[in-house]
Structure 1
Amino acid sequence: MTGWLTEAVPRGRVAAFRTLVYLFVAADLVVFTPWVRTRVDVPGDLYQPLLVGRLLPLPTPTSALVGVIFWLLLAVSLLAATGRAPRLLGWTVFALYFEWMIVAMSYGKVDHDRFGLLVALAVLPTAGRARHGDPTRTEAGGWALRVTQIAVICTYFLAAWAKFRFGGLDWATGSVLARAIIRRGTDLADVIAQVPHLLIVAQFGILAFELLSPLVFFLPERWRLAMVGFFYSFHLVTIATITISFAPHLVAMTSFLPLEKVRPIALLRRRRSPAPLGQLGEHPLAAADDDLGAAPLGQP
């Protein structure tokens, strides 16, 4: 079990995942959750902190407090994305984003798509230094990715458990998707809803998919990546039909992917750099001369 939890991965994969996660945190502040800053406009007695917020305890958010968290987290997350000071900046990002989420989720609605991302932020500082493209393997980085993967799958499996806990089989046979389509459905969802019994079949399929999600850990790598691809396709359909993105969860799920193979900056540099002298014979003009049967220098 210990060997599975700490299975070594290339440091380049850890570096790519870390950059992606911290860049998403910065984007989350300005694209997905800028509304958190408006929470301080409501009366303070409506703030009912989550259990962790009561245990610490954390102060009732004010305009000044939330403003400081926003700007400091934005700056630190961008710095952390560069890979510098991975422990210091990593723990700082986690602490600030954790407080940002407590403020966001302490007014009556808790989103479960943040769980995997929060776990990733908590474990990334333990992975240590890692450079993009570095093939050297690291067990610490492997542990960080594995724990994030477990959190991603727990999000699915525990969602199914919650459905059975609060709705039982009535969740699968009821009108859950129909209500979601009425509230926030797209034109595509309206077309799908007209197919008899399709929504009921889809609800049973969602339950089966969530309950069977832990199987991803028992598959060979090729089939594991295929199953992760199915996870992404499921969320693509969700976005296209009821406009729920699960963006933080999708970022955390990249912990399953060989991200070290995706190096856009290195590819761009190769394309923009001039060809080495040894490769001049591959120049199109040189190739044209060869095709024409050009004679060597000094010969007619």
Structure 2
Amino acid sequence: MSSTGRPATLSAVERGHLAWWQRPAAWLFWEAPLARVAWLRLAVYAFVVLDVLVLHSTGRFHGAADPVWYQPLVVGQVLGLPAATVLLAELTRWGSVVLALLAMTGRAPRLLGWATVVCWAWFQYIAFSYGKVDHDRAGLLTVLLVLPTVGQARLRDDRRSQAAGFALRAAQLAAISTYFLAAIAKVRFGGWEWVNSATVARAVVRRGTWFSEWMLDYPALLVAAQWGLFTAELLSPVIFVLAVGWQRRVVGAWYLFHAATYAAISIAFWPHLVTLLAFVPLERAAEWVRWRWRRRRGLDEDVPAPPPLVAPGRDG
């Protein structure tokens, strides 16, 4: 029995193992471990701090830009957001840092969660209202929006809730939508020449490394890689008809793809990689790390290893 009095063996509905077309509401609002949300929350808010200070700090410079270059996005037009000032850029930047650090404690998850997403989203808005909009941030924005709806969740919380399940499912849908919509955008804006021309070759010429420069001698290979990427993105929603264990294998393959992309052209979609963690049983990963640490020190040698991360287990 769990601490909530429920049987240790969970139904397919509770584990979220039903296909979405069988019972859409049960699939969307499945009962997920609160500990998984707590670990995801910790990772997401830690990333927010790293993001605004190191990875994507360009918004701070736009505070000093001439307002003539300000091109408000749709949300800015609807809300009537003004051009950034130095003060506004710094307030949203450092506000994101302070609020995310406080949110990592798990205290006041709704208040601090909503405040963090407002600050971070506004800082991103400042960054993107003067040029290119990065599509890899849509998923993380979704995660930041749904995390406060879960409420209290502890790192070793053995309770389950539909609110946790909905937050994880929304994050999963956002992550996969990023892939699918990227495929649509490639042919919508670049046409079929995106996959038939020298798109990747140009990227390698501009940003290539020793890992990829040899590929320039094999242009057909690069064109095949373009078609492979386009096909994988277009078929990415298929992940939701797979068993949970195979979903995690597919996510592992996506992580390997992003690692190869970074090695080849030094581009990483960091916010998207954080969003993909919604597919990972993070609380079991933490359990496995603790088990390895104690085994190395000769503690709990008779305790069996936790189940593999690709196995659904009783926790979904």
Unaligned runs of 5+ in 1: 280-300
In 1: Cα distance, 2:218 partner to 2:156 partner: 48
1:182 equivalent in alignment to 2:205: yes
TM-superposition CA deviations, 1:158-179 (whole Å, max 9, x none): 1111112123321111111011
Answer with 1 or 2: which has the greater Rg.
1
1 CA distance for matches of 2:298 and 2:195?
A: 60
Question: 1:197-208, aligned counterparts within 5 Å?
Answer: 197-208=220-231
Q: Measure how far apart 1:81 and its partner are.
A: 1.0
- SS for the counterpart of 1:82 is coil
Equivalent residue number for residue 104 of structure 2: 81
Q: Partner of 1:263: helix, strand, or coil?
A: helix
Assess if the C-alpha contact under 8 Å between 2:32 and 2:162 holds in 1. Answer: yes
Q: Report Cα offsets for 1:261-293 as digits up to 9, x if no partner.
A: 13389939x849x999xx9xxxxxxxxxxxxxx
Provide, for residues 187-242 of structure 1, a one-character-per-residue CA deviation record: whole Å limited to 9, x for no partner. Answer: 21101222241000000001100011001111111111100011111111110111
Q: Alignment partner for residue 109 of structure 1, among 129, 132, 136?
A: 132
Corresponding residue of 1:283: none
2:109 partner letter: P
Aligned mates of 1:50, 1:113 — CA distance in 2: 16
- Residue number in structure 2 paired with 1:282: none
Is 2:245 aligned against 1:222? yes
2:49 is the counterpart of 1:49 = no
In the TM superposition, residue 59 of structure 1 has moved relative to its aligned partner by 1.7
- Partner residue, 1:293: none
2 CA distance for matches of 1:249 and 1:236?
13
3-state SS, counterpart of residue 30 of structure 1: helix
Give me the whole-angstrom Cα distance separating, in 1, the residues matched to 2:64 and 2:95: 21
| Structure 2 counterpart of 1:106, one-letter code | S
SS of the aligned residue for 1:130 comes to coil
Distance 1:174 1:109 in 2: 23
SS at match of 1:197: helix
Within-5 A mapping of 1:26-105: 26-105=49-128
Residues 16-50 of structure 1: CA distance to partner in whole angstroms, max 9, x if unpaired? Answer: 00110001001101110122211123211101111
TM, length-normalised to structure 1: 0.87
Larger helix percent: 1
Check the 8 A contact 2:62/2:89 in 1, yes or no.
no
Compute the TM-score of the two structures, normalised by the length of structure 2: 0.83
Identity value in percent: 45
Residues 73-122 of structure 1 show CA distances to partners (whole Å, capped at 9, x for unaligned) of: 11110110111101000000111111011101111100001010000001
Residues paired across the two proteins, number: 276
In the aligned structure 2, how far is the partner of 1:206 from the partner of 1:271? 41
Please name the residue that 1:252 is paired with.
275
- 1:119 aligns to 2:139 (yes or no): no
Aligned residue in 2 for 1:287: none
Tell me, which stretches of 5 or more residues in structure 2 are unaligned? 1-23, 301-316
Query: Displacement, 1:185?
Result: 1.3
Deviant stretches of 4+, over 6 Å: none
Selected match of 1:131 from 142, 148, 154: 154
Q: Give me the whole-angstrom Cα distance separating, in 2, the residues matched to 1:275 and 1:174.
A: 58
Q: 1: distance between equivalents of 2:193 and 2:184?
A: 13
Q: 2:290 aligned with 1:267, yes or no?
A: yes
